[in-house]
Structure 1
């Protein structure tokens, strides 16, 4: 019956489209105003942000420009209290492609659109212990802020309207459409900071100790960007943007109090223990050089038809690090690194996209069809390292392989209005279909990056094979696969009475790899007066498993009691994973409820929106299953030499409750200038109500835990329980300023046991920028992010055993300290 309903929806949608249809066109409005017309969350033309049935935030290009960062995720994190960007370190590829989260959800539970079209995700799946573990999200830092006209953020589930991934909301980046004008910008800044250190557990008998604090000037960052509007004929536009960014790393490591060298023959410490630089870690933001190009074009073909399209390309070279290996570490080779070594991970990321489409009138329908392609590729170079199992002849740099993800999307949509008796407004009818092809490729590194070279350590244990810090992908890991998905939707919206707005949406999708999904949404709004309205929605949604989660695999060899075992991140369909209870991944299912109020008092607007998001069968990455009884069980199933591993699995249920509050208050103070004030807050709480189990593992004694307390705490407490921001923009003649204060609520750094849990207290971060217009075209700005140089608490020795990592990756505002910058903008 369910399959029949889905096929009926698809058939009705296609039939209606071929009788004529169209998509609502974007309308222009003043940026940054709450009266700005929005296209996200509604397909009715000329609806403003305060008139929708769901909460929509609008981030203007001016807001993005008046920020100390050119990184899209970071700029959004200070503009939106419901969006968080934790910026982890020592997390392999996640240092380079850092995900953001909305409403405390996973990074891949927010849909990202460009000009209302689905954006491709990154090829990276986050595997390490940070916020977003197990997800593969869109890398919004591939989009330069210079090309953006504004950003609409729908804070409401929207799977029925837009498809998979829209459980927590939608971020829609709308591109510039200028025919003339332009602007060039040069920004330069650096971290000028001081942070405290803990130095309370020197090695037994050691005579060295570290300082109580440390001053740093690093993270120098230079960004050159420009955009230009060009006319195409009498009606067309071509807006191009380019950006180059060169960012030096930040280093917030602690004092390494470990013994670095072997003791001398007489048992004394090596004298070099007192002279070596013990600040030997790269713990902080990565080193990045990236070049980005973006173009957006459109033209009027006549007779109501228009053509549009955009394209982008970015190349990003990054360098971050793993943990420092001391000179006496068994993993080191003294003849290569007499003072120890810090292995470096140097990914190269290439991102490409191109979309083209046509809009036209067909009867009473406005049609829109488009075809878009995007690809993200990430290749790993491992530097300043070695393959210990090869011995002194080992090289110190390796190509470790990588992965790529690509997406081809076809859309055909349409919108029309229809007068219906009894309704107070025309019925807005939107119908559409979307077909996607997604591909995922994983390719191997060079043999020395993963092979075992035969060396046995003096202890009698064989040396671990592969490039240290990141063993290369093996030929057995290689994969090149794709899937298809097709769906259709119906979206209806109208005023039933002058005060009551109602909308309903239904969407059916079919995936070639896991099956079908059906989502529906009912939302409404009642305006009691021009000053007060209530709005709300109820819906079910879904998120399809990503090809990255379905197909990522990697293998390393560990020697246990001298016996080699293959430790693998298995595909869920791998025979070993199946033997442990894994099953093909299914979609995550959600039920979203929201209820909010809109209040307008003259110039002041206030919105309050409460929500509940219940998710069933969240996809997570399991614990490392390498216990002895797991190895014995695997061997009993006929898999010899397999030491266990981990795999993606459905089975975590969560409930998230929260409320968003946003107040805008523009004030014209006459001779004192104009003030635009925004006060916003998000209060959020997530509870894990179920964790996955398999009958195979439950039968073992002791039964291994598939999803343990540390991962549960990361979901429940790894992001702020609340976030409050106050922002004031001031302008008077040639002068301008922005003052912003953001209070991040407490979070928790999870430990393996309760005694190692470490709470991070609330912190308030203040940003300040002043601007002066030298001429009508030239503006200079000077500012500082984190003016008062706030840091999270320093981790205790139990959570920082090397001294290298004094701060938690769960800090919601990072741990790089004050950033001081200058910027010059020239309009032309």
Structure 2
């Protein structure tokens, strides 16, 4: 199956060639796809193919004509530069799954909502998933039905937008409708055969049914204003792709490994209102509640932390998340003394409340509760902007230059609240303390911190000649907690002919350490040698981390280089963009630094350092990883409308990406030990370098004729490495192709019925070897870029008015 994408590419190119010779072909009746206007990456709106920097535009039809209600998955299905793995058995990350751009960390991509900085999740990814140590924006908090388009700027843009825009920028643009509306309802279920290492013959699975429904309506406001309301609901049942457990006789599935159960309720409003000929108001409001339930590793009946009187057959603890996410924005835009002035403020808040069910605090004995409230994390952000824009006549340029400058003030806050006493308490009987699966936050873990940042920025967009454009940007930012930084960018484009242009850019960038990375802390109790000891994640500024050599976190710094070309001729278009991203001082979560009173000389030294704090094992966030990422993005498209066969839209896109780690962190304290422990191990180096595909192809063909339409889409993923602490047990997910097919029929122009299948050929990543999967739970790797659930069948009914 690995060659099916290449076959589709060949078929598409054959169609290109044949069509070029066809005498009956006519230009597309609707050429709006070519003239999509882009507002991301520059202060001047340009059509998609005229931009100075590379920008992908994904419209609402492409997002909603899929079998998933998740925005992150929908984008990953369409954009080869985006990777969206589906981790399992990783605590809260199961419900807040991070996406990556160009193989970099999830929090190195800035997300905008209607052009304004959006807030990140309160969750910190601390387990062994892609994006470990990051606290990124949660794309799935935005309903696809509320969007008109998504713009993906594939270039560094910290000088234009501030911190985090190292890999690029994703701008989510909400629908602006003053009339009309639409509703849709869909149902899907997995229909697959699960073949695992210990069960090569496989078992049939018909599970994970997904229900979703959405509705949007546009309302007219005075003076050509609009108000667009959107509501969306989805319910995803869990899946299970675990292997047989070799610890029980006969072997059987005892664990749960797959998608978590998730119920999502979302509502959004977007509005614009003209006050007069010069001024208008705008704003948005959104709220989402998402309840998730994911599995931890199973505890068998004879587990030391089980009581057979409570769970005679053992148990699988379930970790629950109750997430509340808010977005509010309000502003005014108008003309003052020749300047276009835009003043706005936006607020975002994300709260993750944890719980554990089907569990025990074994240290409390058989009377322990089985349900726990484990505490919460909360992140809030206020952003105020004042922007000024005006045209300038400079040096007899072909067109007036556009000068933009402004100021931004941002206030952030982060809180951790302790869980109920039973969720973390140690009953003192020598058994595991805290809720099994996810021990609650303790009072000593509580945090309530904030900071602010002020930015000054300027941007000068110059159309020097009809063929040559240059954009210059500079930004100064000052943070209350670590100081200031200045970044700059220069981007240029030269149109050699009406059909061919070259473009390139250089920029410096940065990413400020997130409050979540600076202050996240959690502690669990392990029984070591019959004694209860604390094992924890500590802030870099804590005394515990400081004794190991930790220092306050500093911002990451980057240099971005890009060079590309744009070609268009009639209905054919092709963009090729090469890039290099050098990042210094990346922030990572360290390995567990473990001490022992009776271990090696190094372990005894660590034990001596940590003993005053009552812990034997500690980890913390630290700067010090340098990386270089190189790659090429290619996007080709051909549109064709024929009298006999209907309209076709072919797309073939690819991303080639390679990351190398050039430096790993150290501390003077640990480096002085007899055998210095690794702060960033070979496993995590390998995840940085080979944890996402080094190549990804996306090929699609859209066809429509009369009331019928269909989409065939294929994705080819390069093989991903799955590293283990024992290098001999490393394995790969394998290079795989995944195909999706959807057919649609329109009734009376207003009602459309769709039937589709994702993963048509029931493709899975390579199986986890038995030596790696000793419990039978992790039958496949969570690093798989297309998941591990198999074939998904769905149907959708949509009505537009």
TM bucket normalised to smaller: over 0.9
1:742-773 deviations in Å (ceiling 9; x for gaps) = 00011100111220111221100000000000
Aligned partner (choices 739, 742, 754) of residue 727 of structure 2 = 754
Partner of 2:548: 580
Partner of 2:443: 475
How far apart are residue 805 of structure 1 and its match?
1.3
CA distance in 2, matches of 1:735, 1:534: 39
Q: CA RMSD in A?
A: 1.3
How far apart are residue 164 of structure 1 and its match?
0.4
Partner of 1:291: 265
Partner of 1:389: 363
CA distance in 2, matches of 1:713, 1:240: 45
Instruction: Note if 1:694 corresponds to 2:662.
Output: no
Instruction: Note if 1:788 corresponds to 2:761.
Output: yes
Indicate how the Cα distance of structure 1 residues 636 and 429 shifts in structure 2: closer, same or farther if over 3 A, else same.
Answer: closer
Contact 1:744–1:812 at 8 Å: present in 2 too? yes
Indicate how the Cα distance of structure 1 residues 172 and 637 shifts in structure 2: closer, same or farther if over 3 A, else same.
Answer: closer
Aligned partner (choices 599, 603, 608) of residue 571 of structure 2 = 603
SS in 2 for 1:806: coil
> Where does 1:316-327 land on structure 2 (aligned, <5 Å)?
316-327=290-301
Instruction: Note if 1:304 corresponds to 2:272.
Output: no
Contact 2:451–2:481 at 8 Å: present in 1 too? yes
Contact 2:159–2:473 at 8 Å: present in 1 too? yes
Greater Cα shift, 211-220 or 767-776: 211-220
Partner of 2:179: 180
Partner of 2:206: 217
Contact 1:656–1:687 at 8 Å: present in 2 too? yes
Instruction: Note if 1:235 corresponds to 2:208.
Output: no
Instruction: Note if 1:441 corresponds to 2:415.
Output: yes
Partner of 1:226: 215
Greater Cα shift, 133-142 or 555-564: 555-564
Partner of 2:70: 71
Partner of 2:346: 372
How far apart are residue 519 of structure 1 and its match?
0.5
Instruction: Note if 1:362 corresponds to 2:336.
Output: yes
Greater Cα shift, 249-258 or 646-655: 249-258
The count of aligned residue pairs is: 768
CA distance in 2, matches of 1:64, 1:445: 39
Partner of 2:651: 678
Aligned partner (choices 648, 653, 664) of residue 621 of structure 2 = 648
> Where does 1:428-467 land on structure 2 (aligned, <5 Å)?
428-455=402-429, 462-467=430-435
> Where does 1:23-38 land on structure 2 (aligned, <5 Å)?
33-38=33-38
How far apart are residue 360 of structure 1 and its match?
0.8
Contact 2:415–2:446 at 8 Å: present in 1 too? yes
Partner of 2:14: none
1:532-552 deviations in Å (ceiling 9; x for gaps) = 111000111000000000010
Indicate how the Cα distance of structure 1 residues 541 and 760 shifts in structure 2: closer, same or farther if over 3 A, else same.
Answer: same
Indicate how the Cα distance of structure 1 residues 309 and 31 shifts in structure 2: closer, same or farther if over 3 A, else same.
Answer: farther
Contact 2:229–2:269 at 8 Å: present in 1 too? yes
1:102-138 deviations in Å (ceiling 9; x for gaps) = 0011000000001100111000010000100000010
Contact 1:224–1:245 at 8 Å: present in 2 too? yes
* TM-score, structure 1 normalization: 0.91
How far apart are residue 644 of structure 1 and its match?
2.3
How far apart are residue 630 of structure 1 and its match?
4.7
Instruction: Note if 1:528 corresponds to 2:496.
Output: yes
SS in 2 for 1:302: coil
Partner of 1:12: none
Contact 1:579–1:634 at 8 Å: present in 2 too? no
Contact 1:131–1:718 at 8 Å: present in 2 too? yes
Partner of 2:7: none
1:518-574 deviations in Å (ceiling 9; x for gaps) = 100011011100111110001110000000000100011122212332111000000
Aligned partner (choices 374, 391, 394) of residue 417 of structure 1 = 391
Aligned partner (choices 571, 588, 591) of residue 539 of structure 2 = 571
Partner of 1:622: 590
CA distance in 2, matches of 1:313, 1:563: 46
> Where does 1:34-183 land on structure 2 (aligned, <5 Å)?
34-45=34-45, 47-183=46-182
CA distance in 1, matches of 2:677, 2:651: 49
CA distance in 2, matches of 1:510, 1:49: 33
CA distance in 2, matches of 1:725, 1:64: 15
SS in 2 for 1:104: coil
How far apart are residue 671 of structure 1 and its match?
1.7
CA distance in 2, matches of 1:320, 1:557: 22
CA distance in 1, matches of 2:100, 2:485: 24
CA distance in 1, matches of 2:87, 2:31: 33
Aligned partner (choices 533, 537, 544) of residue 505 of structure 2 = 537
Aligned partner (choices 460, 464, 471) of residue 496 of structure 1 = 464
CA distance in 1, matches of 2:329, 2:604: 49
CA distance in 1, matches of 2:526, 2:786: 36
CA distance in 1, matches of 2:604, 2:114: 50
1:217-276 deviations in Å (ceiling 9; x for gaps) = 0110000101100011242111000001111001101111213xxxxxxxxxxxxx44xx
1:620-677 deviations in Å (ceiling 9; x for gaps) = 0000111324564353476242212100000000000000000111011222000011
Greater Cα shift, 95-104 or 62-71: 62-71
SS in 2 for 1:332: coil
1:483-510 deviations in Å (ceiling 9; x for gaps) = 0000011100112222211111000000
Partner of 1:487: 455
Instruction: Provide runs of 4+ in structure 1 moved above 6 Å.
Output: none
CA distance in 2, matches of 1:524, 1:490: 17
CA distance in 2, matches of 1:92, 1:192: 26
Contact 1:327–1:338 at 8 Å: present in 2 too? yes
Contact 1:564–1:641 at 8 Å: present in 2 too? no
Gaps of 5+ in 2: 1-29, 597-601
Contact 1:185–1:823 at 8 Å: present in 2 too? yes
How far apart are residue 611 of structure 1 and its match?
0.1
SS in 1 for 2:307: coil
1:558-610 deviations in Å (ceiling 9; x for gaps) = 22212332111000000110111111111000000000000112210100000
SS in 1 for 2:491: strand
Partner of 2:4: none
Instruction: Note if 1:248 corresponds to 2:237.
Output: yes
How far apart are residue 31 of structure 1 and its match?
9.1
1:37-59 deviations in Å (ceiling 9; x for gaps) = 110001113x1111111100000
Aligned partner (choices 685, 698, 714) of residue 741 of structure 1 = 714
Partner of 2:192: 193
CA distance in 1, matches of 2:177, 2:82: 29
Contact 2:595–2:607 at 8 Å: present in 1 too? no
CA distance in 2, matches of 1:150, 1:805: 37
Indicate how the Cα distance of structure 1 residues 640 and 71 shifts in structure 2: closer, same or farther if over 3 A, else same.
Answer: closer
CA distance in 2, matches of 1:96, 1:78: 19
SS in 1 for 2:321: strand
